[in-house]
Structures are given as C-alpha cells and as structure tokens.
Structure 1
C-alpha cells in the first residue's frame, strides 16, 4: 500500500516524476569528472545504478521510500559537487580533488576565479550554482515521491521496466561491454582509498621531516660566494611550455636570446636546466616550500606540516651564514604566519613595497616596480651597512588573468609606481579576454615576455655584484599548456663569476639562458642541495 496526500497522483504525474528522477540519476552518474570526458560517447552507457536505485524505491514501503528519496537527493548533490570539484581541480591543478588535502584551498580558488573574471561575476556564478543545487534537491525529492507513489498496473509496469533495464545493463557488464558500467560505488571507494593513501603519505612525510635533509646549520656554508648578494626569483607560471611549445617559442626564444646578450654585455654568464615543480596551475607556495626546504611539498597538508618543522629553510641557512635574508612578496596582502618558518630578517609584502599605482586586476603591482622597490628598500640600505642580501622574490605579473600586459619603463621613471596607472587601466577586462581562449594564450605569453624582460633589465642594471637563481614556480593551467604537458619549469643561474657558472655546468646545467631540450628534469627539491654544494665549493 502507498500513501499520498490527497490520494494517489494521476499516472501522467507519476510518469513525469519517474522521467525527472531518471534524467537526474542518469546525469549524476554519467557526468564526467575530467574536462576531457565531456563528449557524447561518455553518455552512451547505461549506469546500472540508475535502474537499481529506482527498483529499490519502488519495492520499499512508501515511508521508507520517501526517506530514501531525501537521502538520495543529498547523495546526488554530493556526487555532483565532487565531480565538479574534480573537473575544476583537473583544469587548475592537473589532478583529482582530494577533500583531505584541498578543502583548505577553497578560498584560494575563489581568489583566482574572482581575480580572473571579477568578484561580481564570480559571486553571481557561485549563487547560481548553489541555487541550481537547491532546485535540484527539491526537484529530485518531489519527483521521487511521485514515482514511488505509483500503484496498481503502473507500479507493476515500472518495476518490470526498471528490472529489465537493470538486467540488460548487468548482462552487458558481464560480457565486458563498454556500454554499461557500475561506477558510483567504485568511484566513492577509490576516493576513500585516495584519502586513506593521503593520510599514509602524511605519515611518511612526517618521518622525512623528522629525519631532515641537508645541513642543519648555515655557519661555514656559502664561502664561494665571496660576499655577493644572492637573489632567488620565482617567475609566476613560467613553465617549460613557455619555451618549447610552438605557439610560444617564437616569443620566448628571442627573449631568452636577448637576455643572454644583455647580461653578457653587463659582464655576466648563465647556465640553465629543467626542474620538476611539485605543483601545476597554482599553489605557488608549494614550489617555494619545496625549493627552500629540500623536501618534496606537493600538497597543502605537507606544506602545513613543513611550516611547523625544524627543517631549516635555505633562507635560514643563509641568515645563519651572515646574509640579510629578505622576502619580496607583492601578492601577500594579508597576515602571513608562514613567514616565520623561513626565517626572513626583512619582509616586503604588498603593503611594505610602497606601490601607489593601480593594480593590474589581481596583480597588485607590475614586476618592474617590485624589482625597483626591492633595490631601493633592501639592497641599498644593506649595502650602506656593509651587509650581504639573500632575497626570495615572487614576481606576479604573469599570474592569471594575464590582463593588462605591462610594459617596461626607464628605471629612473618608476618612482612610487603611480606612473603605471595608465597601463593598469588599459586593455580589456578579464571577462572579455577570457571569452577567447586564443587571446588568453597570447596575453599569457605576453606577460611571460614582460617578466623576463624586467628580470633581464634589472640584472643588467643592478646585478653585477649578485648571483641570481631564476626559475618558474609551476606550469600554467591547461588552457595554456594543453593536456599532458610536462610539469617542468626552467631554472637559470646568472653570475659574473665564470668559475661558479662553470661548476653548475659540471653538474649538468647547459650554458646560456635556454635549457637543453634533452636535459633530464630534476625534482625541484634537489636544487637546494645543488645550490648549497656549489655555493660552498663542494
């Protein structure tokens, strides 16, 4: 017996409810969890869960069936949210969403999206998604109630229909056909196993952190540097694709050649190679943590653990060896408790750099200003005190949304940055640029070209007494690289000390600013020890 307020609904309403339930269950179970899966063949399969769930609802007593409907509605929303999260994580980070590792990064995702399309558009998108999910819950619950209220011949017909469909799908599965699957339970099981593996991974990382890697104290290190400044520059989204992808090589190739010529004219030499970044598409701090700690930090949980560890950062080792350690972080606009781990003596975050110009959308200030402010606020005062500087600089002009693209000025004209106002308000907004993927790619490589030009000009004008380590933090998102791109980034060593550059070449780096295309990609965490050994004459 069934019970429905006002009596059993008309057969047409029951059939309509059944249709809606079927459509929602089919879509939820068939929706791809990877951007490459959005093609018609993905929907030409029978998800056996769909008829099985409907059969269960029709076989249960009405009250239990209704309770199942409410649980099913929430479950479907959970599945859809996980699949959408997977798709977003694949687009941004080239991996599946992991609740254990990624839940803390929701706000970072909001910052990236809102910076790309604007806060208003991003907020509207979030509200629309939440409203759609709420409508989906209500629609599924009400339609489910209609379906399970079926009585008489109609109920029998639905039971037979779903039973035959389930049997047909099970038969296809038994024969190994690709036209049916039973994925939801397997996917959820795999996700639980994935989270469990992440917990085990953290235990293994705990052991690595406890053991430590490399020297524990900085005293006695870096004697080969002979009192020179050491400047580590991360260039945002500067990956291997920017150099060897044909659609970008005609910009970056000539730029690297021009850089090599410019620094050679200033009396400096260079060597380069590839290193594999622990991240892709974002989460730049994982790359910073990996390079500076010598440990492989490829997720937020590892990073959080590193921040409370006793593993000395490369910055701290330099500080203990007598260098004035400086962080130049134009993207840091809020409290930054993680800075305590690195052991900086001076922190130049966005508010400390004195920029009076307008932001370039998400980008707080152009790279040329960042470098100019670093020279004025860190190197000049240190030089007056007879101190050496070890700096870690994060350049961000090549961060999404890649609009507008900054251009170089004479260094003497930079001032407080207000001269960049015209550039900051030029060009189209992100919502216009991102409507055209080809334009996004053009503007991306334009910002990389600008960042390299700014670094090259800075070295030529102010870098004769410094050693530079220049590298990308990670590859950009797949909209720029395409699928299956390498995770490698270039690293360049620049110095006036020919013997020092020669030592890096002996360790496998190729001469000049363009890494050898057949060079082996080294994990980024190994770079720290190479720098320590080479700078210490080992």
Structure 2
C-alpha cells in the first residue's frame, strides 16, 4: 500500500493537468528521492520532518494543479499564486451555479481529502524507508537501481503509454510552473509604474478633450460574456443574428446609425473588471495585482477625461452589492448606482441581481429623462453572466421599471441545477441570455430616443470554454451607435464595418488601444 501511494500520489498533478488517467503510467522522481534520503538519515525526528514536508509538497502541487485546471477550464488562463484573491470570486461562481450548500460541501470534502492525502504520503514514505533500512544492502541497491532506471528513461524519453514519458516529476513541475508564473507577475508589476507614467493625455488641457462630443450623452455599456463566439458559432448565433438584424432595422427607423469591430479582451470567461479598467485606462490589465496597483495610481481614465471636460459621470453596476471605493477614488464618478440604491425589489436571476432591462429603464428615467448636464456613464450589464439560468424575459418598456413584473419570471425559468446537467443546454441558455441583453439594449434605444446619445456597447470577454470551446480567441464585439453623422466622420479612419454585426474580417484592436484612439478621434 505504501509503495502504491508513493507511486501514484506524486503523479496526481500531471494527471489533473492532462485530464487523463494515462499519466499514472509513469515513475515519480519525487518518491525515489525522498525514499533514498530517508533511508540514509539516522535520526527518526529528522526522518519524520522530511516525510511530512514531502507529503505537504505533493499535496501543495496537487492543489495548485487542481486550481490551475479549474482556471484553464473557466477562464482559459493559468493560475498565478499571487492572484489568490481570485479564489473567492471563483467560489462565488461555483456557488451561483450549484448552490451555496453544494459548493460548501465540495470545499469541505476537498479539505478532508487533502488532509488524508498528506498523512498518507507521510506514512508511506516512512514505511518504505523503514523497510529499506531493515534490509539496507539489498533495498538500497533496489532503490538505487530504480533511480538509475528513472534517469535513463528520462534521458531517452521512453514511454510506456503514448504521449506520457515514463520518467515523471509532475509535482516538482507543478510547483516550478506556479513559481515561474508568480515571478512573471512580479516582473509585470515592476514595469507598471513606467507604463502608467507614459501617458500622452495626462496633461492635455480640458478645453482640448472630447471637443467633438460636447453636449452629447456618452454611454459605455459592457454586455457580460458577449464574445466573438456569439456571432460566429453556427450553433449559437442564429437567434443572436436575428436579434441584431431586427434591432438594426429598428435603429435605422429611429434615425440611428452604427458601426462595429472587435476588441481583444485581457480576460476570458470572467473577471470582468479587468476589461472595464483596460478600456478606461489604456493599460493591459490581466492580473489582480496589476489592477490593484492601477486603481491606486493617478492613471488618466476615460471617466476622468469626460469629467474634466464638463460631463457628469456615472457608474451603473447592478452586480455591486458592497461599497466600491475605486468608483470615486480612482474613476472619480459623480454618482454610483449599484444593487442597493436603484429601487429594485424583485428576484435575482442566477448571478444577476437585477435584469438588464430594469437597469436601462432606471438609468433612462433618472439620468436622461429631464433636461440635464451631458452625462458620461459606464453601465455593466449582468443578465448574460454565467450560469445563464434562470433568465428574465423582455417586458413592455412602460413596465420595465416595476420590480413586481419580474417575480413570476424567476419561477418560470429553468434553474441552473437543471441547465448545467447538459452542456448543450448550457450553450443554448448562453445564447438566449445574449439575445435578452441585446434586446434590452434595443428597447432602451427605441424608447429613450435621445438625439444627443452616443452609445459604445461591447462585450467584456468570451464565455467559458463550455460555450466558447477550447483554444477560442479573446475577441469581443464592439459597436458605436448614434444619430449624429459627425460621430462617424470622426472615426472614419478606424474602418469599422457598418451595422451591428461585424464581419469576420472586421478590424481587431487590443482593448488597451481603445482609450487613446477614442480620445484622439474626438479631441481637438
């Protein structure tokens, strides 16, 4: 049993990373080293300490590999140990998908399994070392022979199973990879002050900023998980294309025009605030540590540019249930709307605290209805946030601001526990959520009918691989909508495509390029 544990457990990180049990057909270097080391140590307390350290390191490697696999499957990124704060948000997503009781149960079971594995590895290493010490000459010869076999197979690249080298150091590899990612993160953080300081717009006089947009209401609206896959995946995009075509026809009838392209997001599957801050600051923000550092800097954000040029600035983020100090300390918003101060008392829809159509209606009624100072707003819509169930339905615009109208909808929709039993149902639910979010936006545009409105609507990131598939791009659609032809004259050099549906050959910009190009197009 001890030999079996020492043979299998150190291979767990590789099995988790590869997603196949074929990784168990390998020989772990870590066990060979620790057994030989324990056999040569004369002091029992020292042997116990080394065995316990070995057990903890293997468990640490397995945990890191498991977390990394989870991040790859949902966010299409590797886990950086310096970004441990993300685990809280990851747990929140799991909780929203399967419920708090089930999510907590999973964590408790995993914690128990981790403790059992650490104890079992410690015992196994000590047990085998005792056997070697009892028959020192023969056992040491056997262990040394195994070590030599490992070295030879490593040098030759021998394989018992195709694609799986017999010589393995999966646990050491998992810890080394995590350490390397942490070092890369520290290096990026060290370069950040120089990038922040290199800002061509920091000292631009307010009289020269955004002159081509003076007197207009400018809204930057992020549609959660609105990615390229929504437009270019044949199994998903049919209904979404129809919503876009119908919406564009209504826009044309109402006097609007639109142009579209793609941006490459710094994030994938979640962590939307990386996209929001990248668009606003012109910095590539793909790590929590970088985000935190930027939020404590004096980087010139789009919201600050509008504020200094005379706009009232507003953040409308219905997913926020806690105070958001960066909204004032960094972005400098004049007003912050969140889940607690917009008067919504209806049901939640999965992750979404508030349906998108209610968000649009509240914003239109409170910011655009009466004569007002020009408004710049960022609206972060969340109805299309995973788990995409249950979903709200569109209602007549006159009823969209009534919380009560949404009460029966939550009960009528499929719960996440049902939808997530079948990947095809998940993909269909995602597509329906995008159709709803786009429909809510078109409902706002048709009914608000603001002649001075400029709407920049875009996705924050692609949905998780269960929808996007493996090796999907990080591209998201972006559109500009306005009734004023001079808006499109200002961006003529961008060569964006007419309409709400960008073709596959539409321009693709990195998201951090948008701020400078936007300011350049609309400033003196």
TM-score of the superposed pair, with normalisation by structure 2: 0.93
Residues 1:32 and 2:16 are matched in the alignment? yes
Residues 1:416 and 2:405 are matched in the alignment? no
CA distance in 1, matches of 2:65, 2:15: 7
CA distance in 2, matches of 1:308, 1:338: 8
Alignment partner for residue 53 of structure 2, among 59, 66, 71? 71
Residues 1:210 and 2:210 are matched in the alignment? no
Residues 1:260 and 2:248 are matched in the alignment? yes
Map of 2:301 onto structure 1: 313
Counterpart secondary structure, 1:483: coil
Residues 1:455 and 2:444 are matched in the alignment? no
Counterpart secondary structure, 1:425: helix
Map of 1:103 onto structure 2: 84
Instruction: Tell me: CA distance 1:97–1:168, structure 2 relative to 1, closer, same or farther (3 Å).
Output: same
CA distance in 1, matches of 2:68, 2:138: 38
* Match runs of 1:302-381 below 5 Å: 302-340=290-328, 341-380=330-369
CA distance in 2, matches of 1:510, 1:460: 22
Residue-by-residue CA offset, 1:242-269 (whole Å, 9 max, x unaligned): 1101221212222221121111111100
CA distance in 2, matches of 1:152, 1:284: 57
Map of 1:89 onto structure 2: 71
Instruction: Tell me: CA distance 1:65–1:152, structure 2 relative to 1, closer, same or farther (3 Å).
Output: closer
* Match runs of 1:510-529 below 5 Å: 510-529=497-516
Instruction: Tell me: CA distance 1:84–1:218, structure 2 relative to 1, closer, same or farther (3 Å).
Output: farther
| Matched-pair contact (CA < 8 Å) for 1:238–1:489 | yes
| Matched-pair contact (CA < 8 Å) for 1:263–1:460 | yes
* Structure 2 unaligned regions, length at least 5: 159-164
Shift of 1:115: 1.1
Instruction: Tell me: CA distance 1:354–1:156, structure 2 relative to 1, closer, same or farther (3 Å).
Output: farther
Map of 1:22 onto structure 2: 7
Counterpart secondary structure, 1:352: coil
Residue-by-residue CA offset, 1:258-310 (whole Å, 9 max, x unaligned): 12111111110000001111111111111111111112211111111111111
| Matched-pair contact (CA < 8 Å) for 1:330–1:349 | yes
| Matched-pair contact (CA < 8 Å) for 2:79–2:178 | no
* Match runs of 1:121-136 below 5 Å: 121-136=102-117
Residue-by-residue CA offset, 1:470-510 (whole Å, 9 max, x unaligned): 00011111111111111010100000012322443431211
| Matched-pair contact (CA < 8 Å) for 2:11–2:170 | no
CA distance in 2, matches of 1:486, 1:512: 22
Instruction: Tell me: CA distance 1:462–1:481, structure 2 relative to 1, closer, same or farther (3 Å).
Output: same
| Matched-pair contact (CA < 8 Å) for 2:154–2:167 | yes
Deviates more, 1:178-187 or 1:61-70: 178-187
Instruction: Tell me: CA distance 1:151–1:72, structure 2 relative to 1, closer, same or farther (3 Å).
Output: closer
Instruction: Tell me: CA distance 1:218–1:286, structure 2 relative to 1, closer, same or farther (3 Å).
Output: farther
Residue-by-residue CA offset, 1:196-218 (whole Å, 9 max, x unaligned): 22212112111111232434453
Deviates more, 1:292-301 or 1:363-372: 292-301
Residues 1:535 and 2:522 are matched in the alignment? yes
Counterpart secondary structure, 2:111: helix
* Structure 1 unaligned regions, length at least 5: 1-15
Alignment partner for residue 235 of structure 1, among 209, 223, 235? 223
Instruction: Tell me: CA distance 1:142–1:225, structure 2 relative to 1, closer, same or farther (3 Å).
Output: same
CA distance in 2, matches of 1:437, 1:22: 35
Map of 2:257 onto structure 1: 269
| Matched-pair contact (CA < 8 Å) for 1:277–1:523 | yes
| Matched-pair contact (CA < 8 Å) for 1:45–1:180 | yes
CA distance in 2, matches of 1:332, 1:311: 23
CA distance in 1, matches of 2:350, 2:24: 39
| Matched-pair contact (CA < 8 Å) for 2:39–2:132 | no
Instruction: Tell me: CA distance 1:359–1:87, structure 2 relative to 1, closer, same or farther (3 Å).
Output: same
Residue-by-residue CA offset, 1:148-178 (whole Å, 9 max, x unaligned): 2226776655434433332222111112333
CA distance in 1, matches of 2:138, 2:352: 61
Instruction: Tell me: CA distance 1:208–1:389, structure 2 relative to 1, closer, same or farther (3 Å).
Output: same
Counterpart secondary structure, 1:273: strand
| Matched-pair contact (CA < 8 Å) for 1:313–1:343 | no
Residues 1:283 and 2:268 are matched in the alignment? no
| Superposed CA RMSD | 2.0
Alignment partner for residue 467 of structure 2, among 480, 491, 514? 480
Counterpart secondary structure, 2:105: helix
TM-score of the superposed pair, with normalisation by structure 1: 0.91
CA distance in 1, matches of 2:106, 2:275: 30
| Matched-pair contact (CA < 8 Å) for 1:471–1:489 | yes
| Matched-pair contact (CA < 8 Å) for 1:62–1:149 | no
Counterpart secondary structure, 1:343: coil
Counterpart secondary structure, 1:141: helix
Number of residue pairs matched by the alignment = 514
Deviates more, 1:476-485 or 1:189-198: 189-198
